[in-house]
């Protein structure tokens, strides 16, 4: 997998035919604090965006149809969150009496699937944000977040467009400014299905609730809390355990790390937060040299604002 970090400091206005970013996220911590009657888990987490991710571009159609124009291995078009997001927006527009022309969607998939980096959710959010502009459907950001929640628990934070402290299933958001950091992200050669981790019997589901004030403004923000999903992923996926162990070993011999390595989301990716891009690059190179072939990784800078939302 080739991931090219893109520095996306300028707000972006959606245009037909222009590649638009769908950034990755990591979870700086993730606590499971309960479970809803429908089985979904109540979380407390901090989402941070990265300055790398997938890219999407859109073409106009006049026949009202939504069509993905490229193959994405392992994701049939009809199940793709991108296609479902576009159709959901078109249906919501129709309810309001707005006619939309349709769209073609091309997805340049760079983020791993089952990686815990929010790739599919971010793609869906970019579809909602971009087509709301391109179709001139005029939904507010809150309305788009509500549509996004129907597609997945991680979609609203990408639509909201700010790094955030999240509660509920991930949809109750309070935006945050986070300290600068560069992340060495290791992608183990395995895909972790989120439901497998959340349905594990041994998962800790009763972490004590924290307050945003416990976290916000902390200099040692990256050391706060833990990822409750990590122990389950480590025990079931040796590739995740090995990536974490190697990253921890490398981290011990490097100065400039902000916290011990951690897993993002439900895995498989693990990351080390570093004080500079060069430290992160050293950590990544040393870790990949010790890991079996098939492992990959990248360095990305933390970003607090989604470039598509900065423009709206
Ligand atoms: O929302 P999303 O489709 O990403 O979630 C995938 C699965 O992960 C859900 O079907 C559910 O089993 C589990 N999940 C959960 N609690 C959450 C988020 C996801 O139990 N807050």
Q: How far, in Å, from the CA of 241 to the mean position of ligand 1?
A: 22
Candidate from 31, 34, 41, 149 with most ligand 1 atoms within 8 A of CB, to mutate: 41
Q: How far, in Å, from the CA of 170 to the mean position of ligand 1?
A: 10
Collect all residues with Cβ–Cβ distance below 8 Å to 294 and sequence separation of at least 6.
189
* C-alpha span between 172 and 304 (Å, rounded): 17
Amino acid 217: pLDDT: 78
Q: How far, in Å, from the CA of 193 to the mean position of ligand 1?
A: 10
Amino acid 4: pLDDT: 38
Amino acid 309: pLDDT: 87
Q: Note whether 237 and 266 are within 8 A (CB).
A: no
Topology (CATH level 3) of domain 5-175: Ribosomal Protein S5; domain 2 (3.30.230)
Over pLDDT 70: what percentage of the chain?
96
pLDDT band (50, 70, 90) for residue 256:
confident
Mean pLDDT of 277-291: 97
Summarised one tens digit per residue, pLDDT across range 185-203 is 999 999 999 999 999 999 9
- Is residue 43 lining ligand 1, measured as CB closer than 6 Å? yes
Domain boundaries, the chain: 5-175, 182-303
Q: Note whether 51 and 27 are within 8 A (CB).
A: no
**One of 25, 51, 54, 123 is an active-site residue; which one?**
25
Mean pLDDT of 61-68: 96
pLDDT band (50, 70, 90) for residue 7:
very low
Amino acid 166: pLDDT: 98
Active-site residue 290, yes or no?
no
Amino acid 195: pLDDT: 97
Average pLDDT over all residues of the chain: 94
Q: Which atom of ligand 1 is nearest to the CA of 170?
A: 21
Q: Note whether 136 and 307 are within 8 A (CB).
A: no
* Helical packing angle, 277-290 and 238-252, nearest 10°: 130
Q: Note whether 125 and 132 are within 8 A (CB).
A: no
Q: Which residues pair with 103 in a beta bridge?
A: 60, 66
Amino acid 92: pLDDT: 98
* C-alpha span between 311 and 198 (Å, rounded): 35
* C-alpha span between 192 and 183 (Å, rounded): 21
Q: What is the pTM of this model?
A: 0.95
Over pLDDT 90: what percentage of the chain?
89
Mean pLDDT of 56-73: 96
Mean pLDDT of 219-229: 94
Active-site residue 71, yes or no?
no
Amino acid 40: pLDDT: 95
Mean pLDDT of 141-169: 97
Amino acid 13: pLDDT: 87
Summarised one tens digit per residue, pLDDT across range 67-126 is 999 999 999 999 999 999 999 999 999 999 999 999 999 999 999 999 999 999 999 999
Topology (CATH level 3) of domain 182-303: Alpha-Beta Plaits (3.30.70)
* C-alpha span between 279 and 183 (Å, rounded): 9
Amino acid 312: pLDDT: 52
> Above 70 in pLDDT, residue 8?
no
Q: Note whether 137 and 93 are within 8 A (CB).
A: yes
């Amino acid at each position: 997998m080739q991931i090219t970090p893109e520095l996306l400091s300028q707000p972006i206005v959606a245009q037909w035919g222009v590649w638009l970013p769908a950034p990755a996220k990591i979870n700086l911590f993730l606590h499971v604090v309960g479970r809803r009657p429908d089985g979904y888990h109540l979380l407390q987490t901090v989402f941070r965006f990265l300055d790398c991710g997938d890219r999407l571009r859109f073409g106009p159609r006049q026949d009202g149809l939504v069509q993905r124009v490229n193959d994405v291995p392992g994701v049939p078009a009809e199940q793709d969150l991108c296609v479902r997001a576009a159709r959901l927006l078109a249906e919501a527009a129709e309810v309001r009496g707005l006619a939309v022309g349709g769209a073609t969607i091309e997805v340049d998939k760079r983020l791993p699937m089952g990686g815990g980096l929010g790739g599919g959710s971010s793609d869906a959010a970019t579809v909602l944000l971009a087509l709301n502009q391109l179709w001139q459907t005029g939904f507010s950001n809150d309305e788009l977040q509500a549509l996004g929640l129907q597609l997945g628990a991680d979609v609203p934070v990408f639509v909201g467009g700010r790094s955030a402290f999240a509660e509920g299933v991930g949809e109750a958001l309070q935006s945050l400014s986070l300290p600068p950091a560069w992340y060495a992200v290791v992608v183990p050669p395995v895909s972790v299905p989120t439901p497998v981790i959340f349905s594990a019997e041994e998962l800790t589901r009763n972490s004590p609730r924290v307050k945003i004030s416990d976290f916000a403004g902390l200099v040692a923000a990256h050391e706060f809390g833990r990822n409750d999903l990590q122990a389950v992923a480590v025990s079931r996926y040796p590739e995740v355990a090995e990536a974490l162990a190697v990253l921890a070993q490398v981290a011990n011999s490097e100065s400039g790390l902000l916290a011990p390595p951690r897993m993002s989301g439900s895995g498989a990716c693990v990351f080390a937060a570093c004080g500079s891009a060069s430290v992160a690059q050293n950590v990544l190179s040393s870790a990949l040299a010790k890991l079996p072939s098939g492992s990959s990784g990248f360095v990305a800078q933390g970003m607090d604002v989604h470039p598509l939302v900065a423009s709206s």
